[in-house]
């Protein structure tokens, strides 16, 4: 009788262990980084194009004064802010997306600094060139990480 109880106990333990293994193996993937988001990729690429177009124009024109900022460029900065806000919301809506969220904050900070400089003292060609280097570095960083996420999986749903 004791032996039978012992054997049943052993069987129960084995079943429990097997169930645990099946559960852990069946749900067999962990996630530190979210899947690739094609909409974020497209939105960041579109924002890079708009920003680059603006900076190339400033470089070609030689400079842009605070007056020029008021007359011609407040709309550009408004559009940039709206686009970045959209990126922030989209990146923040995804779990374990800390790196991308951090990068978008840096992008927002740089665009904000560029606007402040443009408004207060204008943008010189050197300013525009420096911002071009820095902003493109950030855009490249965001896109490099996003494209690398393709090895994790793909999210194709669009929020736009």
Partner 1 sequence: MSFNITPQMITNMEQAAAGSLVAGGQAAADYASHEFQQFAEDVDHIQDMLQAGTITQQDAQYYVNLQKSSMQAVLLTVQGLGMIAVQNAINAALAVLTTALGAALKVAL
# of chain residues touching partner 1 (CB under 8 A) = 37
Do residues 16 and 24 make contact, with C-beta atoms less than 8 angstroms apart? no
Determine which residue in the list 76, 81, 152, 155 makes contact with partner 1, applying CB under 8 A.
152
Among 47, 91, 107, 111, binds partner 1 (CB under 8 A): 107
Position 49 contacts partner 1 (CB under 8 A): no
Q: Which is nearer to partner 1, 71 or 109 (CB)?
A: 109
Helices (DSSP H) in the chain: which residue ranges?
Answer: 2-26, 38-61, 66-68, 74-92, 98-121, 125-148
Residue 93 Ramachandran class (φ > 0 left, ψ -120 to 50 alpha, else beta): alpha
Nearest one of 121, 137, 126 to 51, comparing CA atoms: 137
Interface segment toward partner 1; rule CB under 8 A; list 53-61, 63-71, 86-94, 98-106: 98-106
Q: State yes or no: residue 65 binds partner 1 (CB under 8 A).
A: no
Q: Which of 26, 67, 75, 160 binds partner 1 (CB under 8 A)?
A: 26
* Residue-wise DSSP of 31-67: -SSPPEEHHHHHHHHHHHHHHHHHHHHHHHHSEE-HH
Question: Which of 52-60, 66-74, 86-94, 149-157 is the region at the interface with partner 1 (rule: CB under 8 A)?
Answer: 149-157
| Eight-class DSSP state of 111 | H
Cβ 80 vs Cβ 110: under 8 Å: no
Residues interacting with partner 1, by CB under 8 A? 18, 21-22, 25-26, 28-33, 99-100, 102-103, 106-107, 109-110, 113, 126, 130-131, 133-135, 137-138, 140-142, 144-145, 148-149, 151-152
């Amino acid at each position: 009788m004791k032996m039978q109880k012992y054997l049943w106990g052993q069987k129960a333990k084995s079943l429990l262990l097997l169930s645990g293994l099946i559960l852990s193996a069946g749900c067999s993937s962990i996630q530190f980084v979210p899947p690739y988001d094609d909409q974020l990729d497209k939105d960041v690429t579109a924002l890079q194009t708009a920003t680059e177009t603006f900076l190339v124009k400033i470089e070609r024109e030689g400079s842009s004064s605070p007056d020029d900022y008021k007359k011609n460029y407040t709309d550009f900065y408004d559009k940039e802010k709206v686009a970045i806000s959209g990126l922030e919301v989209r990146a923040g809506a995804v779990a374990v997306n800390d790196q991308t969220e951090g990068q978008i904050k840096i992008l927002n900070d740089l665009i904000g600094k560029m606007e402040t400089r443009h408004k207060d003292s204008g943008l010189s060609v050197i300013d525009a060139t420096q911002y071009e280097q820095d902003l493109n570095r950030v855009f490249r960083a965001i896109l490099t990480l996003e494209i690398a996420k393709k090895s994790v999986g793909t999210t194709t749903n669009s929020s736009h």
